[in-house]
Copies of this chain bind each other. A is one copy, B any other.
Amino acid sequence: MRISSMTVHPLAVADPPLRSSYGRHAPYALRTLVVLKTTDGIAGYAEAHGGDGPLAAFEALKPLVVGMDPFQLSSLWRMWGRPDQSGDRSQTWMVPGENPRDARTRSYAAIEAACLDIIGKAIRKPVCDVVGGRAREAAPFSAYLFYKHGGGGGLGGDVREDEYGECLTPESMVRQARQMIARYGFKEIKLKGGVLDPEAEIETVRLLRAEFGPSYPLRIDPNCAWSVETSVKVGVALKEELSGGGYLEDPTAGLDGMAAVRQRLLAAGVDTPLASNVAVTGFDDLVPARELDAVQVVLSDPHYWGGIRATQRMGDVCELLGMGVSMHSNNHLGLSMMIMAHACLATPQMEFACDTHYPWQTEQDEIIAGGRVQFVGGAIPVPAKPGLGVEIDFDQVARLEERYHKLPYRKRDDEAEMRKHVDPNWKRLLPRW
């Protein structure tokens, strides 16, 4: 069995005006669908970061991928050699998917996912069983709450219903959480912070705790918006609320900053774990992060750490280093949902519910045949179908691809959206508070 063709589809997916320390989400998020076909007629799919950069990277890969045996993933990886690990170790100033340090792991991850989809379909096993067997029967995700402006995403005649409404206060965030949990059954909560004044975000977390009680672990992630000082202040204020399975994610920039926050929190009697997907973005960051005690929970992401098997390896390394494992998410469709679910299913150490932006997208933009992936009690069960467990609706792909080509932008720019809609002089400031 050989790969006989590789096609790549750029996609534009309607996205509500979510806020973070990066700025404001544009009306469409960019994704890429990778389709591999084999000589025996099996198709394997993967979803990856979007925009012209990833697209060009995939085009450049075709000569390596077409003709390969989908089982020979180790050889494919070695053809790239070791990724470039020089330069700044963090992606503080970059959105995930832009970091040149993980350009190769990002491209490889998509090819691996599509090859594992092919293998699973060929041997009639779900991907989690192809890579060593499921570590759990369902992959738990958390309610990923965002401060947001009114609007459901899309432009012109193509706007989506605004399911959650404007949400720029602590009280409206509780409403958003209630609504999302009622619909999907999530059992853990993550709040994207770094948007309102820290006092208002503390208040938001407190209201969420009051509403859901201590059985719902709570996390907050301001994406480096805070100084060490502010991070410590928030950590101390939320000592109780972030306990019991919660964490404080990337409160401040850089491993040194994170280490300083940790040290001062411990001195203040607060052992809330610090989590990161900004100060730690690849394997080479793990040992330094551990040595500095800068990070206690690492957010994996099969899309940029190098795939599903890389997520398993990362789980093993984190276990050895005494670090916990969670999972980061970008805007994504149902195919990435399944890649993330299989990565979680196959990684025993993934003991925190994973992030997902999936509730922010709609059926209208889904490329999965038969409609959206369904959560059961906030989790994605091992699918009944082999491979990743889903097939693609190519009419939908054509619609999303046509929309991509009509868009004036080819790269995520949350700052530009802020300047357009909120403040013509807006700039990302780190630390802002």
Contact = CB atoms under 8 A, between A and B. Distances in A.
Interface of A: 69, 71-78, 122-123, 125, 129-130, 132-135, 283-284, 286-287, 309, 313, 316-317, 320-321, 346, 348
Given A123-B123, A313-B313, A74 B320 contact: no
Nearest to A320: B283
Contacts of A348: 74, 77-78
Interface of A is mostly: helix
Contacts of A135: 74-75, 78
A134 B74 contact: yes
A133 B71 contact: yes
| Max chain B Cβ within 10 angstroms of own Cβ: one of A122, A123, A133 | A133
Contacts of A129: 69, 71-72
Contacts of A74: 132-135, 346, 348
A293 to B, nearest CB: 14
Contact of A313 (B72, B73, B316): B316
A350 to B, nearest CB: 12
A75 B287 CA distance: 28
- Total copies of the chain: 2
A78 B351 CA distance: 14
A130 B129 CA distance: 11
A287 B321 contact: yes
Contacts of A133: 69, 71-76
| Max chain B Cβ within 10 angstroms of own Cβ: one of A74, A123, A346 | A74
Contact of A316 (B71, B78, B317, B346): B317
30 contacts: A69-B129, A71-B125, A71-B133, A72-B129, A72-B133, A72-B134, A73-B132, A73-B133, A74-B134, A74-B346, A74-B348, A75-B133, A75-B134, A75-B135, A76-B133, A77-B348, A78-B135, A132-B309, A283-B316, A283-B320, A284-B320, A286-B320, A287-B320, A287-B321, A313-B313, A313-B316, A316-B316, A316-B317, A317-B317, A317-B320
A316 B315 CA distance: 11
Contacts of A316: 283, 313, 316-317
Nearest to A315: B313
Nearest to A287: B320
A384 to B, nearest CB: 15
Those 3 A-B pairs whose CB atoms lie nearest each other, nearest first:
A74-B133, A72-B133, A71-B129
Contacts of A123: 122-123
A116 to B, nearest CB: 10
Nearest to A128: B74
A132 B71 CA distance: 6
Contacts of A73: 132-133
A69 B128 CA distance: 13
Contacts of A309: 132
Nearest to A309: B132
A2 to B, nearest CB: 14
A321 B321 CA distance: 11
Nearest to A316: B313
A313 B348 CA distance: 14
A225 B283 CA distance: 37
Contacts of A78: 135, 348
A75 B134 CA distance: 7
Contacts of A122: 123
| Max chain B Cβ within 10 angstroms of own Cβ: one of A76, A78, A313, A321 | A313
Contacts of A77: 348
A154 to B, nearest CB: 41
Contacts of A283: 316, 320
